[in-house]
């Protein structure tokens, strides 16, 4: 704890200065903020820092808290660095909504700060209550609103140790499994005068990546060498770019097939012959050794495709217990808590000094995989072909977009029942070019795309939503922000005029042949003018595509607009559900 007078501004130095200074020190460059009466001291500190030319995180003023959190989520997915989200007491916390569940399940580090309503009534301390609303925002346990969804929550009790609290919060957020943290502070505490202090960042680093215990490296490597039909299933190992190369090396030397199950990241090059698509399906039942690498739900136990009872299953995961999911089990031979890049590096190193897999066996397996890879893709291609009746399919949209995008373009996916069209026809080949929310709360994609674009301003960013999801993204907030902060991206709305997922679930559970009309519960007709909403809020280019014929031209126009600084929303009219 070293006093650092050089950092001290002239005049007062409060807990707010300490909070903002510590965030800056810990690498936070952006505060996605929806500020209120609880943040009066924060606003003052930011203004004073600007006046005095002191570095501070940039405030991205976020008209809706859901967007703020989604943007911090997307930003951290690209950069690995937690950003800050500032929200207003209990009500702003509630307005973050399901986004907090996405950040937790997506294992994304986010630092959330919310004020607490003042705890003095009669001016006993600076910051005391001064408005009727401050009475209405007094709740018994504000942290309790999000406690199930954060890794850590705490309230600042004294301004004196704010830098330590920030560093602790950041250390927890950035340690695996990563996730959101939530800090609160009442106005009186934030107004406290404190002494500047600078903490040595090197002493607050995240916990080091965990490795596989030595014995198990050999055990897994041997099992893979001996296997006839090994399979690897992953969904988020690619969050660490280094893991992609390690995985490719392991798979090539063993002719190990890979399935990306509901991917949240780009994990393995989609054009690689060992890439076997996005549904393990029959491959699961055929496999004698299965490595599950960073995946929450590799198969559905009540589904048709399950591993054989005698299959050897090794679960390597940064979070193999899934502690945030109370009911969860995937019976496996071993559960190993390890960082996937480290674990694969260990397996590769062990295999480097072992006799290699018989080359004939390896080559035969690789050829077989290549055959199924090519066949699968040829089938997909047929689905993307033009229809005689001119109707648009989601596959056509993504295939057409694939022609226009570079390999480093970033895809943000919340396409719900049309997600497979995104997986199949926008094959990502470079790490860090694909993101999903990792959770189940719709409304992430718009804010996430904004955060992604802020973190990667030189790359094309395309986000996919359904028409139902578009309502959830708080579009007015998203497109307003995108214009104000010059973060243009393309949104493709798969508009099937309804909640297809809800309809499909009804059919799955209550029989496909049900004669009942459930339109009242799932239809979103008549369709909203999604592009018009974005245009009104943030001057976005609004395009509606009705026929397959006009699709290529409109996509090119929309993309060109984003490249010249304007958001574009392409409302793709699919056949209604």
Ligand X SMILES: Cc1ncc(C[n+]2csc(CCOP(=O)(O)OP(=O)(O)O)c2C)c(N)n1
Backbone dihedral region of 319: left (phi > 0), alpha (psi from -120 to 50 degrees) or beta? beta
When the beta carbons of 149 and 315 are compared against ligand X, the nearer one is 149
When the beta carbons of 191 and 467 are compared against ligand X, the nearer one is 467
When the beta carbons of 28 and 67 are compared against ligand X, the nearer one is 67
Min CB(497)–Mg ion separation in Å: 7
When the beta carbons of 142 and 496 are compared against ligand X, the nearer one is 496
Number of chain positions touching ligand X (CB under 6 A) = 19
Site for ligand X in 81-120 (CB under 6 A): 98
Min CB(37)–Mg ion separation in Å: 39
394 contributes a contact to Mg ion by CB under 5 A: no
Site for ligand X in 464-523 (CB under 6 A): 466-469, 472, 496, 498-502
Could you tell which of ligand X, Mg ion, none binds residue 562, using a CB distance below 5 to 8 A set by kind? Answer: none
Alpha helices in 414-496 (DSSP H): 419-425, 445-455, 467-472, 475-484
How is residue 576 annotated by DSSP?
A: P
Alpha carbon of residue 386 to chain centroid: 33
Min CB(500)–ligand X separation in Å: 3
65 contributes a contact to ligand X by CB under 6 A: no
Site for Mg ion in 440-469 (CB under 5 A): 466-468
> Hey, CA dihedral for 524, 525, 529, 531, is it positive or negative?
positive
When the beta carbons of 38 and 467 are compared against Mg ion, the nearer one is 467
Min CB(467)–ligand X separation in Å: 4
416 contributes a contact to ligand X by CB under 6 A: yes
CB atoms within 10 A of CB 516: 9
Which residue is associated with the tokens 């399979």? 231
Distance CA 83, CA 313 (A): 37
Min CB(417)–Mg ion separation in Å: 7
Could you tell which of ligand X, Mg ion, none binds residue 440, using a CB distance below 5 to 8 A set by kind? Answer: ligand X
185 contributes a contact to ligand X by CB under 6 A: no
Three-class DSSP category at 116: strand
Min CB(386)–ligand X separation in Å: 22
Could you tell which of Mg ion, ligand X, none binds residue 188, using a CB distance below 5 to 8 A set by kind? Answer: none
395 contributes a contact to ligand X by CB under 6 A: no
Distance CA 517, CA 390 (A): 27
Q: Which residue is nearest to ligand X (CB)?
A: 466
Contacts of 50 (CB under 8 A, 6+ apart): 56
96 closest CA partner among 153, 27, 33? 33
Distance CA 339, CA 335 (A): 13
Strands (E), 330-372: 334-337
Site for Mg ion in 497-516 (CB under 5 A): 500
Phi, psi of 191, rounded to the nearest 5 degrees: -85, -5
Min CB(476)–ligand X separation in Å: 17
User: Cα–Cα distances in Å, from 99 out to 96, 121, 362, 507?
Assistant: 6, 34, 44, 28
496 contributes a contact to Mg ion by CB under 5 A: yes
Sheet holding 58-61, edge to edge: 58-61, 30-33, 83-87, 110-116, 180-186, 152-155
Min CB(527)–ligand X separation in Å: 10
Min CB(33)–ligand X separation in Å: 23
In the complex, the residues that contact Mg ion under the rule CB under 5 A are 466-468, 496, 500
In the complex, the residues that contact ligand X under the rule CB under 6 A are 98, 416-418, 440-443, 466-469, 472, 496, 498-502
């Amino acid at each position: 704890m070293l006093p650092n007078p050089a950092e001290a501004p002239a005049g007062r130095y409060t807990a707010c200065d300490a909070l903002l200074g510590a965030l800056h020190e810990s690498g936070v460059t952006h505060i996605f903020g929806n500020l209120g009466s609880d943040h009066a001291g924060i606003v003052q500190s930011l203004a004073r820092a600007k006046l005095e030319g002191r570095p501070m995180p940039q405030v991205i003023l976020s008209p809706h808290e859901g967007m703020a959190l989604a943007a911090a989520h997307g930003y951290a997915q690209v950069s690995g660095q937690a950003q800050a989200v500032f929200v207003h007491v209990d009500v702003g916390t509630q307005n973050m909504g399901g986004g907090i569940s996405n950040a937790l399940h997506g294992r994304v580090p986010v630092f959330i700060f919310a004020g607490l309503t003042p705890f003095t009534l009669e001016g006993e301390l600076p910051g005391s209550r001064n408005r009727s609303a401050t009475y209405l925002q007094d709740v018994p346990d504000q942290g309790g609103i999000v406690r199930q969804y954060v890794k850590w929550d705490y309230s600042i009790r004294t301004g004196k140790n704010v830098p330590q609290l920030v560093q602790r919060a950041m250390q927890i957020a950035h340690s695996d499994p990563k996730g959101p943290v939530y800090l609160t502070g009442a106005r009186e505490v934030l107004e406290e005068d404190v002494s500047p202090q600078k903490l040595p960042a090197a002493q607050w680093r995240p916990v080091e990546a965990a490795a596989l215990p030595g014995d198990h490296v050999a055990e897994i490597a041997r099992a893979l060498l001996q296997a006839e039909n090994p399979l690897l299933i992953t969904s988020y190992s690619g969050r660490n770019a280094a893991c992609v190369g390690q995985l490719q090396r392991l798979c090539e030397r063993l002719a190990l097939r890979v399935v990306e199950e509901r991917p949240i990241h780009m994990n393995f090059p989609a054009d690689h012959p060992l890439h076997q698509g996005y549904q393990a399906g029959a491959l699961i039942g055929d496999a004698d050794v299965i490595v599950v690498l960073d995946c929450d739900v590799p198969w559905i136990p009540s589904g048709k495709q399950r591993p054989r009872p005698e299959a050897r299953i090794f679960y390597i995961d940064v979070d193999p217990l899934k502690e945030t999911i109370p009911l969860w089990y995937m019976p496996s031979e071993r559960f190993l808590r390890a960082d996937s890049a480290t674990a694969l590096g260990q397996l590769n190193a062990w295999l480097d000094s072992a006799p290699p897999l018989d080359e004939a066996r390896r080559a035969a397996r690789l050829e077989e995989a290549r055959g199924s890879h090519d066949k699968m893709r040829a089938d997909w291609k047929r689905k993307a072909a033009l229809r005689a009746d001119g109707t648009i399919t989601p596959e056509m949209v993504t295939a057409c977009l694939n022609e226009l995008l570079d390999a480093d373009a970033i895809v943000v996916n919340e396409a719900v029942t049309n997600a497979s069209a995104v997986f199949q026809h926008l094959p990502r080949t470079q790490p860090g070019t694909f993101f999903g929310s990792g959770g189940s709360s719709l409304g992430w994609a718009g804010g996430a795309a904004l955060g992604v674009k802020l973190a990667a301003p030189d790359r094309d960013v395309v986000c996919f939503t359904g028409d139902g999801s578009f309502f959830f993204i708080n579009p007015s907030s998203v497109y307003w922000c995108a214009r104000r902060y010059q973060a243009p991206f393309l949104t493709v709305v798969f508009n099937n005029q309804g909640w297809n997922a809800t309809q499909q679930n009804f059919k799955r559970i209550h029989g496909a042949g049900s004669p009942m009309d459930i339109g009242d519960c799932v239809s979103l007709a008549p369709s909203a003018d999604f592009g018009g909403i974005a245009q009104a809020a943030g001057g976005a280019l609004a395009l509606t595509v009705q026929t397959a014929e006009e699709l290529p031209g409109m996509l090119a126009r929309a993309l060109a607009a984003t490249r010249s600084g304007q958001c574009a929303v392409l409302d793709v009219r699919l056949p209604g559900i």
